[in-house]
Structure 1
Amino acid sequence: MSVEKATKVEESFQRVLGFKKMVDRWRNSHTHCLWQTTLDQRRNLYATLRMQDAMGRELALARKQLLVVRRAALCQLFEAELRQYERELNQTGRAFYVERL
Structure 2
Amino acid sequence: MSAEKMTKLEENFQRAEALKKTVNRWRNFHAHCMWQMTLNQRRDPYAALRMKDTMEQELALSNKQLLVVRQAALHELFEKEYQQYQQELNQMGKAFYQERF
Output the aligned Cα RMSD. 2.1
Matched residue type, 1:75: H
Structure 1 counterpart of 2:51: 51
Structure 2 counterpart of 1:41: 42
- Secondary structure of the corresponding residue to residue 95 of structure 2: coil
Please tell me whether the aligned partners of residues 41 and 48 of structure 2 are also in contact (alpha carbons under 8 angstroms): no
Identity %: 61
Output the TM-score relative to the length of structure 2.
0.58
Which 4+ runs in 1 deviate beyond 2 A? 37-40
Count of matched residue pairs: 64
Output the TM-score relative to the length of structure 1.
0.58
Structure number with bigger Rg: 1
Aligned pairs (5 A) from 1:12-91: 41=42, 43=44, 45-91=45-91
Instruction: Give distance in 1, aligned partners of 2:41 and 2:61.
Output: 31
- Structure 1 stretches lacking a partner, 5+ long: 1-36
- Structure 2 stretches lacking a partner, 5+ long: 1-37
